[in-house]
Amino acid sequence: MTTLTTDAADTLVFSPDGRWLAANPGVFPSLGSSLVVWETKTWSVAASVKPERNPHLGAPVQWIAFGGGETAQNKLGNAQSLKFAAEGKTQIVWYGVSPLAVSPDSKLLAQLGPQSFSYVELWDTHSGQKLQSFAAHKKATGSLAFSRDGQWLMTAGQESLRMPVDLHTFSGTTEYRVKVSDANTWKERASFSYPQVLALSAVLSPDGKRVAVERSWGIIDLLDAQTGTSVGTVATAMAPSNYGPLFGKGHLAFSADGSILFEGAFKSGIYLWKLPVQ
């Protein structure tokens, strides 16, 4: 076993080739105050930065995504890039206070717009030009992810909020929705609705064919990303917190080949499921 840091971290992201691991270790309540990148063969630190904290925006490293090259910009909207050299190449990892994702070819950066919680902005990582923006959800967009082939963009966000909410049962009429959109036209291909109090965790499979959605304590739906039909459900005996479901970024991940689903289960550790081959 190797201990990389004794500080808490709530975001862990591997580079697409598995060569690098980035995280945001910090000491609570300054969690997310730094970005550290490790080389996964030796587990030595390849790069690190501790950005200046904006008191109005919170921790500067809440979302992380790999992608880019020497000509990539240093800053796009609210996102910033950390560049480091390795074996004659420039590696890039993006970070920011709001949801972001980088396309597999590293040409596009998708991020939450600064003027609205619902709009997604698309940026050219090399020219620095903002190409487009669109409203992904009515109230707020909570997460973004490109499929590994770059054809699809998945978003999860809030559509409505009607009060009051019962804080004892955590039931209410808030609606969350997971959407899959064409990354060429940005037209919606599929959409799945969930009545929920707190935000959902959702992740797109590497081939863009399945969506995993953590809709309740330890209950994960597997959905066909094109039709929205269920292709299975997995469940664990995860005990709820006194503060209700703690859904959000980083709870779910597919393996590179899509055959294994990982779930971060708070104090219960990490669960793994072997999924049927499609």
Q: Give the total number of structural domains in the chain.
A: 2
For residues 206 and 229, membership in a common domain is answered with yes
Instruction: Determine the pLDDT at residue 217.
Output: 66
Among left, alpha and beta (phi > 0; psi -120 to 50; other), residue 22 is beta
Could you tell me if residue 142 is inside a domain? no
Average pLDDT for residues 134-140, to the nearest whole number? 86
198 has a pLDDT exceeding 70: no
Q: How confident is the model at residue 237 (pLDDT cuts 50, 70, 90)?
A: low
28-32, 167-171, 182-186: which range is least confident on average? Answer: 167-171
Domain limits for position 98:
1-135
The pLDDT tens digits for 245-264 are 444 555 677 877 888 887 76
**Phi, psi (deg, nearest 5) at residue 266:** 60, -120
Q: Is the pLDDT higher at 267 or at 115?
A: 115
201 has a pLDDT exceeding 70: yes
Instruction: Determine the pLDDT at residue 37.
Output: 95
158 has a pLDDT exceeding 70: yes
Cα 118 from Cα 152, distance rounded (Å): 18
Q: How confident is the model at residue 6 (pLDDT cuts 50, 70, 90)?
A: confident
Instruction: Determine the pLDDT at residue 225.
Output: 86
For residues 211 and 277, membership in a common domain is answered with yes
222 has a pLDDT exceeding 60: yes
Which CATH number is 48's domain given?
2.130.10.10
For residues 123 and 158, membership in a common domain is answered with no
Average pLDDT for residues 40-50, to the nearest whole number? 93
Could you tell me if residue 196 is inside a domain? yes
For residues 128 and 171, membership in a common domain is answered with no
Highest mean pLDDT among 46-50, 54-58, 231-235, 236-240: 46-50
Query: Can you give the three-state secondary structure of 52-70, one letter per residue?
Result: CCECCCECCCCEEEECCCC
Among left, alpha and beta (phi > 0; psi -120 to 50; other), residue 149 is alpha
Q: Among 135, 158, 192, identify where a domain stops.
A: 135
For residues 27 and 123, membership in a common domain is answered with yes
Q: Is the pLDDT higher at 164 or at 161?
A: 161
Residue 211, token pair as written in the block:
């969506």
For residues 26 and 59, membership in a common domain is answered with yes
For residues 197 and 271, membership in a common domain is answered with yes
Average pLDDT for residues 235-253, to the nearest whole number? 56
For residues 186 and 217, membership in a common domain is answered with yes
Could you tell me if residue 163 is inside a domain? yes
Please give the span between the terminal C-alpha atoms of the chain, in angstroms, as a whole number: 34
**Closest Cα to residue 218, out of 168, 175, 270?**
270
Q: Is the pLDDT higher at 139 or at 48?
A: 48
Distance (Å) of CA 90 to CA 20, 48, 95, 136? 13, 14, 16, 32
Could you tell me if residue 66 is inside a domain? yes
Could you tell me if residue 157 is inside a domain? yes
Q: How confident is the model at residue 160 (pLDDT cuts 50, 70, 90)?
A: confident
Distance (Å) of CA 143 to CA 153, 230, 260? 10, 21, 21
Q: Is the pLDDT higher at 92 or at 213?
A: 92
The pLDDT tens digits for 12-27 are 788 888 899 888 888 6
For residues 131 and 10, membership in a common domain is answered with yes
Instruction: Determine the pLDDT at residue 265.
Output: 59
For residues 111 and 187, membership in a common domain is answered with no
CA 140 to centroid of chain Cα atoms: 15
Could you tell me if residue 161 is inside a domain? yes
The pLDDT tens digits for 165-177 are 555 555 556 788 8
Residue-averaged pLDDT of the chain: 81
For residues 129 and 13, membership in a common domain is answered with yes
For residues 70 and 175, membership in a common domain is answered with no
Could you tell me if residue 141 is inside a domain? no
Q: What is the largest CA-CA distance in the chain?
A: 57
**Closest Cα to residue 227, out of 211, 214, 216, 213?**
211
Cα 88 from Cα 64, distance rounded (Å): 23
67-81, 119-133, 209-223: which range is least confident on average? Answer: 209-223
Q: Among 135, 169, 200, identify where a domain stops.
A: 135
**Closest Cα to residue 263, out of 234, 229, 225, 240?**
234
Instruction: Determine the pLDDT at residue 120.
Output: 92
Q: Among 95, 111, 135, identify where a domain stops.
A: 135
Could you tell me if residue 188 is inside a domain? yes
Q: Is the pLDDT higher at 197 or at 67?
A: 67
Instruction: Determine the pLDDT at residue 270.
Output: 62
